[in-house]
Structure 1
């Protein structure tokens, strides 16, 4: 069944997104007005200068521009008046050695657009959210900011676009290169940000253990349960999880939901906001939770999971103490590291589908740049983004070479980690769904984790308690 390509991002590691804040807009209108006036004046000056030129001079300019374009290969150059301008950009994260955003990007922009100076600020997540709220409220927001897909976090593309803070990017040519990712950056049919590649949730497995027990990669839920049963009977721990860090519960639950809830209703999370759906609806989240609980009931997931941290679980997997672990592409280096045992790794989507049904993956588009609607230089910003995400420019190549996300098109897509290829194939076929909490107000996933932990910890919590708790938390946190 051909499904709508709906993807979104969860925060790597913690996967806990901050709730979208209602930012005041007291300075927004005046800032936008001033920006419009300045832009109009600039255009008027440019037009006046153009009129003063002779036809020969214009022809000479055109030839010069053609020469520059040819020398730059396929890279587009900014159409400017020659005036030097400074653009500002603010992203979240921690700058590392030879950091792409803060160290490489400004220089690459200057090479492509000599009259543009890009100043980049990078702040830790919490500081970024606070600074963004303040700058939006004052009307002094940077020209380019980082936006999260769908409803994820305080800088969600839906929240910012709905408040009028973002410039539509739908007409950029680079959007067509990543239509699947662009779906998660839409609001009211317009694209407002460009996703940075994708991140994956999947099931890492020990290929040697599978081969020794005559097991193949499962393609549906019954086959997966059989793999767990065979491994356990052979004296092998089927799955290891570090549920002491409860966010890792999402790694398995979201894979199951991608094969149960969303194929039946891709709009499930959007309809939570209208009351058309609820977490308590039969056959939705109660089914997801029951399926995941089965893995604990049968001790396919280690009984010590609530006392084991995420990094400890990873170590047990690389040491050969378990056959599988649910985790993300962002932890691939740690999961491929040398441990006490030597074995070949594999990675497959947890098949929550029934036999005969399509298999879907849990693949999330990464947070990416958006343009502040009050920027004086929106067109210049668009030209930078167009070049940045064309799949072949020096800017694109430099970002792809960081290895921080899975590349799905253009340069770098042919050298993707072989572990990730099955997921990229599903992504390009439209057979993936976003990480669930990116459709929820931040905090709903924490309620789910806490209550699920109580259940598997033997405190008497039931599936109905969990779905009721999720619904109550959603209603408490969701505001129009």
Structure 2
């Protein structure tokens, strides 16, 4: 997604709407006093409990965001770390996004970077885990005990050259919100294949109901449907597709990849399943139309659940499902949220890793406090059973390893803008074809990689 989406949506993965949702169903090792004599080998054997010693140390952490009263990162986390590790003082600084990126760049260049920093998955943003790991700024944390609980998708999104360098803080979802009453009134059930989905659209259209509303005037929302389709039709066949785009082993123009995705999504517009005026509607307008019962479905993210579940002109129950695959073997489009990484120049690697193990172990007081903020969609441990049931199908797929990151997280920033502009031209009737779009995406990719 474009830079706005990268910074906005990943930040939005931290919104409380992830926990509350909008379905009508119910929502939801002991410290060592002799650690001064502890060997490095022993420390690595149990990093969760052996960070305590007689030496008082101060660790620093820098995150993006705005600290509020009772803030988890700046107030709660340091307090609970101190209770667990009496010899450690954790000092946390939060900066607004733009200031954070500027400060991080300066501190990395000066060699005075905080021990813990916020990174984004794959190539997303100017603090992407891959670029920072490639530059040697991050510590390999592959040995952290909780990583297997976090799941393969979370590990893969924060990996480089086979090693893990960052921690995902929950996930954000792209899916299909739907009006349950409209489905029930027309004897429709949640589709399990692409053909079934098209049939739902046709039945609704024949009943005089607009099947789908989208606010394509804000072009980034085009990604909400496209990435769901790509999660089914590209990545299950080649999980290295995006990495290979960078090496030239694959191309956006390869048959059966983005031509298929764009054609499938384009069909929804050609048949009138997506509202004809989408290019004249903004994202907020399309959300309001869905809320007011003027369309049966819309493609959007868990980060917008609060708006999509707000009271409108009519009262109805919402549902949420992933766009199904052609063959019915459906994958979810889910982006692990940005999270902490360890600066490779830290003077206290074992202590920092011990804090991360404690923070993300799934059950510690600090993990419970983290989960209870309501700022993340929890994928394991305490709080995972409190996510709104509307997200159950997505979480089941995620925990089965059947979920893929958002495509743009692996692309040079700007590639998605070219895709949006050309797709908008196609659905706007300007004669642009699917090959025009894939060629444009490939040319833009190569241009950006050469910079």
TM above 0.5, yes or no, is: yes
The CA deviation at 1:433 is 1.1
Residue of structure 1 in register with 2:127 after alignment: 155
Whole-angstrom CA distance in 2 between matches of 1:393 and 1:314:
38
Residue of structure 1 in register with 2:200 after alignment: 227
Secondary structure at the counterpart of residue 247 of structure 2: coil
Whole-angstrom CA distance in 2 between matches of 1:16 and 1:463:
32
Residue of structure 1 in register with 2:183 after alignment: 210
Residue of structure 2 in register with 1:348 after alignment: 321
Whole-angstrom CA distance in 2 between matches of 1:477 and 1:398:
42
**Alignment check: 8 A CA contact 2:52 2:88 kept:** no
Residue of structure 2 in register with 1:472 after alignment: 443
Residue of structure 2 in register with 1:253 after alignment: 226
Q: Does 1:367 align with 2:362?
A: no
Whole-angstrom CA distance in 2 between matches of 1:397 and 1:419:
22
Residue of structure 2 in register with 1:442 after alignment: 413
Residue pairs, 1:274-289, within 5 angstroms: 274-289=247-262
Whole-angstrom CA distance in 2 between matches of 1:339 and 1:259:
33
Whole-angstrom CA distance in 1 between matches of 2:179 and 2:439:
37
Residue pairs, 1:326-337, within 5 angstroms: 326-337=299-310
The CA deviation at 1:120 is 1.4
Compared CA separation, residues 250 and 269, structure 1 to 2 (3 A) = same
The CA deviation at 1:116 is 1.7
**Alignment check: 8 A CA contact 2:60 2:115 kept:** yes
Q: Does 1:358 align with 2:329?
A: yes
Greater Cα radius of gyration, structure 1 or 2: 1
Residue pairs, 1:25-44, within 5 angstroms: none
Compared CA separation, residues 257 and 175, structure 1 to 2 (3 A) = same
Whole-angstrom CA distance in 2 between matches of 1:79 and 1:252:
46
Q: Does 1:177 align with 2:172?
A: no
**Alignment check: 8 A CA contact 2:245 2:251 kept:** yes
Residue pairs, 1:36-435, within 5 angstroms: 46-47=36-37, 77-180=49-152, 181-351=154-324, 353-355=325-327, 357-435=328-406
Whole-angstrom CA distance in 1 between matches of 2:65 and 2:444:
28
Whole-angstrom CA distance in 2 between matches of 1:183 and 1:445:
21
Once the two structures are overlaid, the 10-residue window that deviates more, 97-106 or 272-281, is 97-106
Secondary structure at the counterpart of residue 169 of structure 2: coil
Secondary structure at the counterpart of residue 89 of structure 1: strand
Compared CA separation, residues 341 and 12, structure 1 to 2 (3 A) = farther
Compared CA separation, residues 461 and 224, structure 1 to 2 (3 A) = same
Compared CA separation, residues 15 and 86, structure 1 to 2 (3 A) = closer
Once the two structures are overlaid, the 10-residue window that deviates more, 85-94 or 207-216, is 85-94
**Alignment check: 8 A CA contact 2:331 2:402 kept:** yes
Q: Unaligned regions of 5+ residues in structure 2, if any?
A: 13-34, 39-46
**Alignment check: 8 A CA contact 1:330 1:404 kept:** no
Residue of structure 2 in register with 1:459 after alignment: 430
Compared CA separation, residues 95 and 301, structure 1 to 2 (3 A) = farther
Residue of structure 1 in register with 2:18 after alignment: none
**Alignment check: 8 A CA contact 1:14 1:247 kept:** no
Whole-angstrom CA distance in 1 between matches of 2:252 and 2:322:
24
Whole-angstrom CA distance in 2 between matches of 1:321 and 1:97:
40
Whole-angstrom CA distance in 1 between matches of 2:420 and 2:257:
17
Whole-angstrom CA distance in 2 between matches of 1:385 and 1:263:
31
Encode CA deviations 1:365-407: one digit per residue, 9 max, x unaligned: 1111000000112111111100000001111111111222211
Compared CA separation, residues 394 and 16, structure 1 to 2 (3 A) = closer
Residue of structure 1 in register with 2:42 after alignment: none
Whole-angstrom CA distance in 1 between matches of 2:422 and 2:352:
45
| TM-score normalised over the length of structure 2 | 0.88
Secondary structure at the counterpart of residue 441 of structure 1: coil
Secondary structure at the counterpart of residue 173 of structure 1: coil
Residue of structure 2 in register with 1:71 after alignment: none
Secondary structure at the counterpart of residue 168 of structure 2: coil
Whole-angstrom CA distance in 2 between matches of 1:295 and 1:16:
30
Whole-angstrom CA distance in 2 between matches of 1:237 and 1:13:
29
**Alignment check: 8 A CA contact 2:231 2:404 kept:** yes
Whole-angstrom CA distance in 2 between matches of 1:137 and 1:367:
22
